[in-house]
Amino acid sequence: MRLASVDPRMERRAIRVIAGIEAFKGVLVLLAAAGVLSLIHRDLHAIASALIRHAHLNPASHYPRIFLDAAADLQNGRLLWLAAGAAAYAMLRLGEAWGLYRERAWAEVLAAASGALYLPFEGVELVRHPGWLGVAVLSVNLVVVGVMVAALIARRRNGAD
């Protein structure tokens, strides 16, 4: 028996939408990892300088200087670790998306837990810097966690794995 207030078809659609969002995040981070890998064995300081010139920023001012210093400090080993971490995160998100699409309980648990993990940070950020974007991000994440918890409760009531 399902929760009385949740239509099973609507719940399934919501979970599929969340699966699509997770897949999108996974692909986006995978592309970022590929972009980071493309920077290996390149002169990052020259690339950073070109970006600053293209944006018509003064390279001697505070924030462009921070950007240039960070680019000069990056080494190939750090870039590899950054790309590997991004690829691992992307695989986690893509695996979660697959599991949600295939209605796997483990994916619902993962989605609920990973979404809930961000809630305190999003709340603190919203208190520090209130704005519509923070409200939107927190609201979407609350909905995702709510949908996943409702799906897990319904699964448990149905006795499904």
Please determine, for residue 2, whether its predicted confidence score (pLDDT) is greater than 50: no
126-135 burial, b at 16+ Cβ within 10 Å, e below that, comes to eeeeeeeebe
pTM given for the model = 0.75
For the stretch 35-55, pLDDT in tens is 888 888 888 878 888 888 888
Beta strands (DSSP E) in 24-66 are none
Over residues 105-123, the mean pLDDT reads 94
Give long-range contacts, CB 8 A cutoff, 24+ apart: 24-30: 25/90, 25/93, 26/89, 26/90, 26/91, 26/92, 26/93, 26/94, 26/96, 26/97, 27/90, 27/94, 29/86, 29/87, 29/89, 29/90, 29/93, 30/86, 30/87, 30/90, 30/94
pLDDT of residue 4: 47
Residue 6's pLDDT band (cuts 50, 70, 90): low
Residue 3: the pLDDT is: 44
| Mean per-residue pLDDT of the chain | 88
Closest-CA residue to 104 (of 28, 26, 22, 5): 22
CA atoms of 113 and 151, how far apart (whole Å): 13
94 or 83: which leads in pLDDT = 94
Q: How far apart are CA 99 and CA 104, in angstroms?
A: 5
3-class SS shares of the chain: helix, strand, coil, % to 5: 80, 0, 20
Classified as helix, coil or strand, 120 is: helix
pLDDT at 17 over 70: yes
